[in-house]
Amino acid sequence: MKELSPDDRPREKLLRNGPTALGDNELVALVLGIGIRGADALGVANDLLRRRGGVHGLARSSADDLSQVGGIGHARAAQLVAAVELGRRVAARGPSARVQLRSPHDAAAYLLPTFGARAVEQFGIVLLDSKHRVLRTTVVASGTLNSTIVHPRDVFREAMLGAAAAIVVFHNHPSGDPSPSPDDVELTRRLRAAGVLMGIEVVDHIVLGDARYCSLKEMGQL
């Protein structure tokens, strides 16, 4: 970035005007730090965003995906994945007050920033107290693309260990389409029945897309 005037370099712009003054490519360039032979950090950032489909695609990329882009490599891929994950956690975690999930919309708003845009399917549960305040969130199973194996015993083992009074179960669809499949509906039925036996309420099953969700409760499947 030596060709840029000092005032136009990403680091100087950020220090002078704040991070909102920078474009996506400039923010990525700052995470990368330096360029490679024949391309500065801004050039590498531009190529990365083009090949991965912008920042949205970047958020869905694994370290292996990123390391395939010229000039990235495993170390820089790890830096980028870490930066994205920090952003997810900031978006997902509010102040110290415990989040209360009063509705499917509340549950989706809590889960989407962290689990909505994932390249691999993950199935998890949100453990709730008797007032439906979040105790913690844990991933129970991970698969590749749309193949995840979930056992009710694993779900309720986690719920019992966490002393949960109720749970919200969730999983993401890497395709971005949150429409539940027949298998999703059947799994919801099995979990609800197990919850009745265990004395732990299954409040909802939220299916997450990129920026959308489907609630099995809203669909009348709970």
User: Which of 92, 126, 148 is at the close of a domain?
Assistant: 92
Token pair for 24: 């996506």
Phi, psi of 165 (to 5 degrees): -90, -25
How many Å apart are CA 28 and CA 14, to the nearest integer? 12
How many Å apart are CA 36 and CA 110, to the nearest integer? 39
For residue 131, the enclosing domain spans 104-215
Number of neighbouring beta carbons within 10 Å of residue 3: 8
Let me know: does 107 contact 222? Beta carbons within 8 Å: no
175 assigned to some structural domain: yes
Residue type at 140? V
Total number of domains in the chain: 2
CATH number at residue 204: 3.40.140.10
The number of residues making up the chain comes to 222
User: Is the same domain home to 117 and 142?
Assistant: yes
How many Å apart are CA 120 and CA 115, to the nearest integer? 10
Sheet with 213-215, side-by-side order of all strands: 134-142, 122-128, 166-172, 201-208, 213-215
Integer angstrom CA distances of residue 150 from 142, 165, 207:
9, 21, 14
User: Is the same domain home to 81 and 176?
Assistant: no
User: Is the same domain home to 39 and 137?
Assistant: no
User: Is the same domain home to 83 and 178?
Assistant: no
97 assigned to some structural domain: no
User: Is the same domain home to 54 and 115?
Assistant: no
User: Which of 43, 62, 92 is at the close of a domain?
Assistant: 92
Report, in this order, helix, strand and coil percent for the chain, each rounded to 5.
Answer: 45, 20, 35
User: Is the same domain home to 86 and 110?
Assistant: no
Token pair for 78: 């790890």
CATH number at residue 81: 1.10.150
220 assigned to some structural domain: no
221 assigned to some structural domain: no
User: Is the same domain home to 111 and 81?
Assistant: no
pLDDT of residue 93: 67
109 assigned to some structural domain: yes
pLDDT tens digits for the chain (222 residues)? 555 655 568 888 888 888 888 899 999 999 988 777 777 888 889 999 999 999 888 888 989 999 988 888 899 999 999 999 888 888 776 666 688 999 999 999 999 988 987 888 999 999 999 999 999 999 998 876 454 678 899 999 999 999 999 999 999 998 889 999 999 999 999 999 999 999 999 999 999 998 899 999 999 988
Nearest 5 degrees, angle CA 98-CA 107-CA 187? 125
99 assigned to some structural domain: no
Cα dihedral sign, 194-154-222-145 = negative
65 assigned to some structural domain: yes
pTM for this one? 0.63
How many Å apart are CA 42 and CA 134, to the nearest integer? 41
User: Which of 68, 92, 116 is at the close of a domain?
Assistant: 92
User: Is the same domain home to 187 and 127?
Assistant: yes
Token pair for 8: 């136009």
pLDDT of residue 170: 96
129 assigned to some structural domain: yes
User: Is the same domain home to 58 and 109?
Assistant: no
Q: Look at residues 125, 118, 123, 112 and name the one whose alpha carbon lies nearest to residue 181.
A: 123
Grouping H, G, I as helix, E, B as strand and the rest as coil, residue 70 is coil
User: Is the same domain home to 109 and 211?
Assistant: yes
User: Is the same domain home to 140 and 179?
Assistant: yes
User: Is the same domain home to 43 and 109?
Assistant: no
